[in-house]
Structure 1
């Protein structure tokens, strides 16, 4: 068989296509490259989205919304001082976009208007914080992307 330009081009195409197919198959089969959704029940969460929009509107209507700061011993979440701490309930969810193993949720239990998330639970980097809280039957939602 004579090797000419046409044969070389066909072999180059076959080699390139094989190379690409190898990586596509490897990325889909290998568990090292898992493709995780943000939440397992994505469509169920989507149906609750309007409820979250209403809660965010309630929070924006407040004179002073929740704020946060990086303290020396953790993340300090500050609730409005105009509310009585006994009537504040809810939960704080911290989501780590880079690794779902570090996501956690904690209930809101306040002795003063501050909630401290200990430093040992937080790694340096980006976090999405979601505070879903209620005060006297009215629901509020605070979302923020923070770099800790």
Structure 2
């Protein structure tokens, strides 16, 4: 059977469309190509983004900001020395960009200047930490990436 140019072009278009449709369908059906947003309430957080920027700027104005260090027991957060511990309130959010089921938050309750995030809650890999805290009515925020 002879195939002329017109038939070959139509077959090439059909083959190309079938190739593209295969990838579109497989990307939508397969769970390993997950299309989740970083957080479930992404759009609500986007609306409050300017508040977060203001909190980060407030934290930069402090004499000493929050620091962290990796220890054998977990991650140790060090709050500024010049602040009264009992007036510090807030939450620590840890989220894992690769798996949202591992995300968790811890309320800040300090008896000294340090807060320990236990090792049993953290898996090896990248974590994003966000500490949203307040001191005497002023709001602050600390953000960092942790490779644990």
TM-score in terms of structure 1 length = 0.91
Unaligned runs of 5+ in 1: none
Task: Calculate the aligned-residue CA RMSD, in Å.
Answer: 1.6
Equivalent in the alignment of 2:15: 15
Unaligned runs of 5+ in 2: none
Equivalent in the alignment of 2:24: 24
Cα distance between partner residues in 1 of 2:12 and 2:69: 57
Equivalent in the alignment of 1:86: 86
Cα distance between partner residues in 2 of 1:42 and 1:119: 28
Q: C-alpha deviations, 1:51-103, integer Å up to 9, x for none?
A: 11111111000011000111011011110111111111100000111110111
Question: How do residues 118-129 of structure 1 correspond to structure 2 at under 5 angstroms?
Answer: 118-129=118-129
TM-aligned CA deviation for residue 9 of structure 1: 4.3
Q: C-alpha deviations, 1:5-54, integer Å up to 9, x for none?
A: 55344323322220211110221234443311122222221221111111
Equivalent in the alignment of 1:34: 34
Q: Decide which moves more: 66-75 or 38-47.
A: 38-47
Say how many residue pairs are matched. Answer: 148
Cα distance between partner residues in 2 of 1:133 and 1:93: 11
Cα distance between partner residues in 2 of 1:20 and 1:130: 40
Equivalent in the alignment of 1:131: 131
TM-aligned CA deviation for residue 4 of structure 1: 4.2
SS in 2 for 1:43: helix
SS in 2 for 1:19: helix
SS in 2 for 1:69: strand
Question: How do residues 60-139 of structure 1 correspond to structure 2 at under 5 angstroms?
Answer: 60-139=60-139
Cα distance between partner residues in 1 of 2:4 and 2:69: 69
